[in-house]
Structure 1
Amino acid sequence: MASPRKASDRRDPQCAALFARDIVKALRAQIGFRRDGEAVEDATVQEFLRAAIWERPVEDCAVLVGIDATPRDAAKRDISKRLAERLKAEFEIFHAPAFRHGDSGTGPLGPRG
């Protein structure tokens, strides 16, 4: 007889990595990250966020797929706030809209159209 699966076994680790990638991609449009005055690569921030997301209890994440919007929205705000706190504690965050496009309109996202 198979042993019962733990709740953490039912989570897909790839989802945390995908969430982290999407968060960093969205944030990089306006901000950058530094440590000790040096720019930090996206992969470093993504890995940090992936680990932080994975540390969230399964119960917190289960609320995010619930039908009732009130607890779902509250959970989103709480998780977002805690992730933002973790990012600010780990990295220096700076306003950098030019980080993506620069004054010439070129950059990782390509020319502005």
Structure 2
Amino acid sequence: MKEIKVLKKNYLHFLNDASRVFNGDETCFHLRPKEGKVLGLKSSRNVYEIDQGNAKSNITVMFTFSASGLTTPPMIMYPYKKIPINIIRSVPDGSGIGHSENGWMKSELFF
């Protein structure tokens, strides 16, 4: 309770300006989503699903919005040790870009 009183006492003026109140959330996009069907030729007797690469690869996108409706450019996390130049060039201007081994957001990347 003491922390709430400090917030109200010292920072309440921030809450009066909706453009200074932000909320962020991250969303995972799977690069190889699981499917329940496998396509094969009509005459094929045995058709198998072949998993190529890392089936759990994903990118994470951090979206941030203010209470007044303003948005900030997204932060996109890729699952690379070094991001390929063609991906860097394809990211919209102003967007944040980062990388981690699995494409997940980490606290140090958030900051």
TM-score normalised over the length of structure 2: 0.20
Q: Looking at secondary structure, tell me which structure has more helix per residue.
A: 1
Which of these two proteins has the greater Rg computed from alpha carbons?
2
Q: Looking at secondary structure, tell me which structure has more strand per residue.
A: 2
TM-score normalised over the length of structure 1: 0.20
